[in-house]
Amino acid sequence: MLAKSLIVFLFLLTGCKHSECKPDTTRCFTNLVELCDTEEEWVTAMDCSEVAGDDLLWYCCPYEDPNLGLVHTCLPEACDDE
Amino acid sequence: MTNDLQVTPDLVRGLWAHLSGFYHTRVVSKANSTEMRVVASALKLMGVLDAQVFMSDFVTTLWRTIYVPFKIGDERSSWSLWDQITVCVHEHQHVEQLIQDGWLRFTTQYLTSSAKRAVYEAEAYRCDMELWFWKTGNLLNPGSLVKTLGNYNCKASDIRLAEHLLNFSAITVKKGGVINMASQLAIKYLEKHGVPTV
C-alpha cells in the first residue's frame, strides 16, 4: 500500500509537462495565439478577444507571411476557412 | 492614421499618474534606492551588467514598485519625454503580467527561465511597438527592440524567439490592433489629453 502511494505521489510530481511542440511554431488555441518556446512549451502570445482597434472583433487565424511563412496572429476578420 | 502629439512634461506626468493609479504602482527614484544599489553591485559582481549602466540606463520594476533613473517630465533628462512615456507603458505591462499570471508564477518564471523571460520581455516591448505605430504609423524593427535582451541574460535562441513573437504581433499592429492592456490604457489617455502637433 505504501509503495503504491509512493508511486502515485512520484507520478503526480513528475507527470505534468505540457504538450511538447516545435520551437518557434505558432497555433490558435480557442481565440489565443500560442507560441512554442525553446523549452518546447506552448505559451500565450496574444489573446485576440482582448485586442482593441477600430471597434472590430479580432480572431486568431493562420496567416501566410512572405517573410515569416505560416504563422498565427490576430486578424480583424474571420479566418478564410471558417 | 497617425497621432503626432505635442509631448509635454505635463502629458508625461499625467500618463505616469494615470497608469500608476490604475495598477496601484509606486514610482521611486533609482538613485535614492538602497535596494537598487545592492542589485547594481550584485549584477556587477556576477559580470552581468555594469553598475553605472544599470543605474542610469534601465528602469526596473519589482512587483508593484517602479525604479526610474530620471525625474518624470524632465525635458533635460537623457531620457526624452517620448522615452519616458514608452517606458512607463512597458513597465506597467510587466505589472499586467504579474496580475495575469500571479506573482509567484511570474516571478519564478521570470527569474529562472531564459525562455519565459524572453517572452515576458517581448510582450512588454510590444507596447513600444504599439505606441510608436499609433504615433507615427510606422513599425519599429523587432530585431532592434530585442537586442537588449542579452543584458537580461537571455540565450540567443530565446532572443530569436522574442523577435519572432514581435514579428507576428506586428501583423496585428499594422492592421490597427492594440494587443497589450497597458498600451490600450495609455493610448486612450493620450487620445483624451494629448494636443495634436499643428
CA atoms of B5 and A34, how far apart (whole Å): 34
Residue type, B59: V
B128, B142 Cβ separation under 8 angstroms = no
For chain A, the C-alpha Rg in angstroms (whole number) is 18
> CA torsion angle for B69, B74, B79, B83 (degrees, to 10)?
110
A36, A22 Cβ separation under 8 angstroms = yes
Nearest CA in chain A to B122: A45
pLDDT given for residue A8 in this prediction:
47
DSSP, res A41: -
pLDDT tens-place string over residues A36-80: 999 999 999 999 999 998 788 999 999 999 999 999 999 998 887
Chains A, B: CB pairs < 8 Å: 80
ipTM of this predicted structure: 0.88
**Confidence bin at A16 (pLDDT 50/70/90):** low
Contact: B123, A23; criterion CB under 8 Å: no
Residues of B in contact with A41 (CB under 8 A): 115
Contact: A23, B157; criterion CB under 8 Å: yes
pLDDT given for residue A12 in this prediction:
47
Residues of B in contact with A45 (CB under 8 A): 119, 123, 165, 168-169
A34, A47 Cβ separation under 8 angstroms = no
Nearest CB to B178; choose among A39, A51, A71? A51
pLDDT given for residue B81 in this prediction:
96
**Confidence bin at B43 (pLDDT 50/70/90):** confident
Q: CA nearest A33: which of A43, A23, A19?
A: A43
Residue type, B57: D
Nearest CB to A74; choose among B116, B123, B177? B177
CA atoms of A67 and B8, how far apart (whole Å): 38
pLDDT given for residue A9 in this prediction:
46
Q: Which three cell numbers stand for residue B14?
A: 499625467
Mean pLDDT of B15-25: 98
Mean pLDDT of B142-166: 93
pLDDT tens-place string over residues B51-68: 888 899 999 998 899 999
Nearest CB to B175; choose among A26, A33, A75? A75
Which is higher by pLDDT, B160 or A8? Answer: B160
**B184 CA to chain A: closest CA distance, Å?**
7
pTM for this prediction: 0.89
If you write DSSP's letter for every residue of chain B in order, what string do you get? Answer: ----EE--HHHHHHHHHHHHHHHT-EEEESTT-HHHHHHHHHHHHTTSS-HHHHHHH--EEETTEEEESS-TT-TTSSS-HHHHHHHHHHHHHHHHHHHHH-HHHHHHHHHH-HHHHHHHHHHHHHHHHHHHHHHHS-PPPHHHHHGGGGGGT--HHHHHHHHHHHHHHHHHHHTT-B--HHHHHHHHHHHHH-EE--
For chain A, helix, strand, coil in percent to 5 are 20, 35, 45
